[in-house]
Amino acid sequence: MSTPRRLLLVNGPNLNLLGTREPEIYGTETLADVERIVVDAASALGFEVRAVQSNHEGVLIDAVHAAREDCAGIVINPSGLTHTSVILRDALTGVSLPVAEVHISDVYAREEFRHVSYVRDVAAVHVIGEGVAGYARATRLLIDVITGRADG
């Protein structure tokens, strides 16, 4: 069976407020802009994208579980769940897909509690603090891992 040419894009709680929530930290681009950036980066390399955003942890976990059926990898910004969710980490580990962790802001330059990431050791790719443009780089790097052009 060949590797599916689809990525799952996961955006966690409060990312539906991009563009209006703390623009001095997160910028003025919207979630629709993020999704377009990822779709454009992936399609340039022959991949499709399925996107999900939820403020509910279980919805995100269900989407991660479903990805094992038809996705080659996961681009995820778990937002606040990065620092709290062992079960989201376990879901990512459980599906055995390569993962790219993305954060719009530099979480290591912010409050100390944001320095903890339960996703860090699960992810093959990390793009931190590059704004929404970081999603494109994370997508390209993850596809490099999936296609064997980079180690993951």
**Residues known to be catalytic:** 26, 103
Residue 83 assigned ligand-binding role:
yes
Residue 114 assigned ligand-binding role:
yes
Nearest of 144, 110, 117, 138 to residue 126 by alpha carbon: 138
Q: How many CB atoms lie within 10 A of CB 139?
A: 29
Residue 50 assigned ligand-binding role:
no
Residue 43 assigned ligand-binding role:
no
- Cα distances (angstroms) measured from residue 10 to each of 2, 60, 62, 150: 23, 7, 11, 22
Residue 33 assigned ligand-binding role:
no
Radius of gyration of the chain (CA): 14
Nearest of 37, 82, 91 to residue 29 by alpha carbon: 37
Structure tokens at 54: 């939820």
Residue 89 assigned ligand-binding role:
no
Nearest of 55, 56, 77 to residue 8 by alpha carbon: 77
Structure tokens at 136: 């494109």
Amino acid identity, residue 77?
Answer: N
List the binding residues.
77, 83, 90, 104-105, 114
Which residues are annotated binding-site positions for substrate? Answer: 77, 83, 90, 104-105, 114
